[in-house]
Structure 1
Amino acid sequence: MPCIYISTNLNLDGVDTDPIFSEVTTAISTIIGKPEKFVMVLLKSSVPISFEGNKEPAAYAEIISMGGINKEVKKNLIATIGTILQSKLSIPRTRFFLKVFDTTAFPTRSKL
């Protein structure tokens, strides 16, 4: 189940965020190759964020997935999510950072 947690310093009170949830869900499902019904999107606003020494509109996100992540997928996720935030919230793509985790990339510990 892919899960993305997006934080922004913008105040989204009164903003219709439904298109953001919809577009991000579809993008993640398509890029990672997981059904939309398994994609979770969290969006938190009014988070104090300073980037490049200022508090202009910015966003930070983390995405976790059980498989489906490789170098090309990471590149597509960063570009696509950045474009969605730029078009829907006017956050420049240069002020967006995405951290990507694939839980299958970590070795498991066996029980003794």
Structure 2
Amino acid sequence: MRTANRWPMPLLTVTTNMEIYPDHQEQILIKLSAFVAQLLGKPESYVMVQLQSGQPMLMGGTNEPCAHLRLKSLGLPEDSTEGLSTALCDAITGQLRIPANRIYIEFANPARHMWGWDKGTFG
């Protein structure tokens, strides 16, 4: 079990049907990285954020702007997902102008041995 790193990497993946230009993508990634670190109380040096824009997606039968988020982190507090959902929706609405009712969020708290990093796992 890894003991040198008490802060296993949170990963936020944002997939959207909106086309986001490359120069704006980096700004969004920087803001979301800092936001996830603050939200989970973890050092930003361990946060990974992925943005997949321009993806073919429908929600509710329409192609109006929508997003699917995945927040994965060891020790993700399952009793806090309601608050995390609110905070993430607010962040995505603020950054991408996607309404909260057009955002799905998937939370994951993997087993420590199922999360790998630096040629090993955390379990």
Q: TM-score, normalised by structure 1?
A: 0.82
- The residue identity in structure 1 corresponding to 2:77 is I
Alignment of 1:1-112 (within 5 A): 1-13=9-21, 16-72=24-80, 74-104=81-111
Change (3 A) 1:32 1:22: same
SS in 1 for 2:91: helix
CA contact (8 A) 2:16 2:67 kept: yes
- The residue identity in structure 2 corresponding to 1:84 is A
Correspondence for 2:119? none
Structure 1 Cα separation of the partners of residues 91 and 76 of structure 2: 21
Correspondence for 1:109? none
Comparing 6-15 with 59-68, greater Cα deviation is found at 6-15
- The residue identity in structure 1 corresponding to 2:25 is T
Q: Which runs of 5+ in 1 are unaligned?
A: 107-112
Structure 2 Cα separation of the partners of residues 105 and 76 of structure 1: 24
Structure 2 Cα separation of the partners of residues 36 and 53 of structure 1: 37
Q: TM-score, normalised by structure 2?
A: 0.75
CA contact (8 A) 1:33 1:68 kept: no
Compute the displacement of 1:66 (Å).
Answer: 1.1
Structure 2 Cα separation of the partners of residues 14 and 21 of structure 1: 11
CA contact (8 A) 1:58 1:96 kept: yes
RMSD: 2.1
Compute the displacement of 1:53 (Å).
Answer: 1.0
Structure 1 Cα separation of the partners of residues 51 and 67 of structure 2: 10
- The residue identity in structure 1 corresponding to 2:44 is E
